[in-house]
Each structure stands twice: as C-alpha cells, then as structure tokens.
C-alpha cells in the first residue's frame, strides 16, 4: 500500500463525509416558516374562560353541526381558560356544554357567535340551571 492509495482513500472518505453532512443538514432544515405577509396564518383562537362554582369537576364541550368537541376539564370550585379553534366557531355559531362528572344534568348555552380573539366567559353555577355566559 503506497502513498497514492492512502491519498485516494482519504479523498473517498472526505467526499463521503461531505455527502453525509449535506444530507444531514438538509434534513435539519425542516418545514419552511409561513410567510406572515401572505395571510395564510390561522386566526387567533377563541378563549373560553370557565368559572366553575360547582363542587363537581366539569367537562366542557363545544357543540357544532350535531357533533361535540371536548375542550377540557375544569376542577370543582376552580377557574380555567380553555381554547376553541376559530374554525369551530363558524358563521353558524357554536354552543358550549358544561357536563359535570357524576351528574345526570348538564348545561348547554344558547348559540354563541364569537369572532377570533373574543373571550367567552362561562359561569357554571352550583345549581346548573343558574349557569350563564357572556362575551368579553
């Protein structure tokens, strides 16, 4: 094995490392970030601020088009802020359902027409029929 063989092996090794590093770096590039000037970004979510004055934990759902989407659970006698995708609140509006765990009753709001960035305040009362909501 001569010096020429060592140089040829070193060249092959350096070419292999170069190809491997280019492949690795291109894999690290990931997805391109969206252009903020094209208008394709999602509008902000709608916040649902839940004030649970009930002793039971409450599961909150968004109702739309005959289906329901779980937003989250709020512990009894606690407050929490949940999020609804603005896509869910279409021009047809949405309803919120507060479903206490371990109870046969639930509270369903009227149709709510909320725009992105709006805060829906849902007050869950200890007597469910006394519950209410408003926009802020």
- pTM comes to 0.70
| 55 lies in the same domain as 28 | no
Is residue 23 in some structural domain? yes
Structural domain harbouring 51: 46-135
130 phi, psi to nearest 5 deg: -90, 5
Q: Which two tokens stand for residue 11?
A: 């060249």
Q: In this structure, are residues 76 and 122 in contact, taking their beta carbons and an 8 Å threshold?
A: no
In the predicted model, what is the mean pLDDT of residues 41-45?
A: 75
- CATH code assigned at 56: 2.60.40
At 36 the pLDDT is 62
**Which residues fall within 8 angstroms of residue 78, CB to CB, at 6 or more apart?**
52
Residue with tokens 């092959």: 12
Report which of 91, 50, 46, 95 is spatially closest to residue 68, judged by C-alpha positions.
Answer: 95
More confident residue, 94 or 6: 94
C-alpha angle with apex 67: 61 to 70, nearest 5 degrees? 25
72 and 119 co-located in one domain: yes
Residue 50 lies in a domain: yes
The answer to whether residue 59 sits within a structural domain is: yes
């Amino acid at each position: 094995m001569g010096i020429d063989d060592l140089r040829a092996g070193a060249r092959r090794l350096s070419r292999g490392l170069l190809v491997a590093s280019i492949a690795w770096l291109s894999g690290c590039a990931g997805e391109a970030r969206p252009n903020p000037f094209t208008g394709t970004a999602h509008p902000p979510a709608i916040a649902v601020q839940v004030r649970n004055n009930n002793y039971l934990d409450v599961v909150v759902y968004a109702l739309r088009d005959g289906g329901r989407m779980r937003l989250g659970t709020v512990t009894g006698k606690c407050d929490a802020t949940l999020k609804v995708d603005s896509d869910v609140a279409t021009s047809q509006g949405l309803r919120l359902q507060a479903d206490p765990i371990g109870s046969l009753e639930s509270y369903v709001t009227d149709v709510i027409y909320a725009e992105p960035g709006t805060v829906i305040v849902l007050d869950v009362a200890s007597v469910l029929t006394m519950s209410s909501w408003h926009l802020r």
